[in-house]
Each structure stands twice: as C-alpha cells, then as structure tokens.
C-alpha cells in the first residue's frame, strides 16, 4: 500500500494552543492534500500543497512539505474547540497510471475548552 501515515494517532490540547500533525508517505507524489472529518460526517478538503512547494498558509492553517523526507506537517494555530476533528493527509502519486487519492490513517485532535 502507498498509504500515508499520520502521527500522532491522537492529540489532545487546550484551546488556544497550537496543534501539529505529521504525515509521511512512501513514494514520489504530485501533490498532497489535507482533509478534516468531524465525527460522523464526510471529509472536507482543507488545503493543497504541490510537490514544488515547501510551505503554504490558509488562515490558521500552515502546511509544510519536505519531499526529500517524504513528509508533510499541518499546523493549526490558536486552536478552538470547533477544531476538534480527525485530520487526514491524502496523496496522488506521480507516474501511478491510475487516478487514485490515497489517504493516511488520520490524527484525532481533541481541543479542550
């Protein structure tokens, strides 16, 4: 499987703190996306970073990509209780010859008010 791996599997922080989640993958990628899933709901796209980018920002989100280490990180600054959710990275692999978005196992974030 080319599935990515997030760590930690679970993260619990106080409101106002920053949350960092990491994703590692196995083969070369075209791009990497991060998704969020609230309990019992479908996934929602957060941010995309392309293989030629190293860092990207969107509001309180900061994503980095290190293709040499095959890893990415998602930073949520000044967390809120509403950020409580599971977060997944997803990759499209270059040269795969098929149209597949592969998801990691996710990090479950709990933000305590």
Partner 1 sequence: NAGVTQTPKFQVLKTGQSMTLQCAQDMNHEYMSWYRQDPGMGLRLIHYSVGAGITDQGEVPNGYNVSRSTTEDFPLRLLSAAPSQTSVYFCASTLTGASLMRGEKLFFGSGTQLSVL
* Contact residues for partner 1, defined by CB under 8 A: 1, 3, 9, 30-31, 33, 35, 40-45, 48, 50, 88, 90, 92, 98-106
- Residue closer to partner 1 by CB (options 14, 98) is 98
Q: Name the residue among 101, 84, 82 with its Cα closest to residue 25.
A: 101
- Residue closer to partner 1 by CB (options 41, 54) is 41
- Residue closer to partner 1 by CB (options 90, 109) is 90
Question: Least distance to partner 1 from the beta carbon of 109, Å?
Answer: 15
What's the Rg (C-alpha) of the chain? 14
Residue with tokens 């990180």: 73
End-to-end CA distance of the chain: 38
User: Please, are residues 12 and 112 in contact by the beta-carbon 8 Å criterion?
Assistant: yes
Question: Least distance to partner 1 from the beta carbon of 17, Å?
Answer: 25
């Amino acid at each position: 499987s080319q599935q990515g791996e997030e760590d930690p599997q679970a993260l619990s922080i106080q409101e106002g703190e920053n949350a960092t989640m990491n994703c590692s993958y196995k083969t070369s990628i075209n791009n990497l996306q991060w998704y969020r899933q609230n309990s019992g709901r479908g996934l929602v796209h957060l941010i995309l970073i392309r293989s030629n980018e190293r860092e990207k920002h969107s509001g309180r989100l900061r994503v980095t990509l290190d293709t040499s280490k095959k890893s990415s990180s998602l930073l949520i600054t000044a967390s809120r209780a509403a950020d409580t959710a599971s977060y997944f990275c997803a990759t499209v692999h270059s040269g795969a010859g098929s149209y597949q978005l592969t998801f990691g196992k996710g990090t479950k974030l709990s933000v305590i008010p």
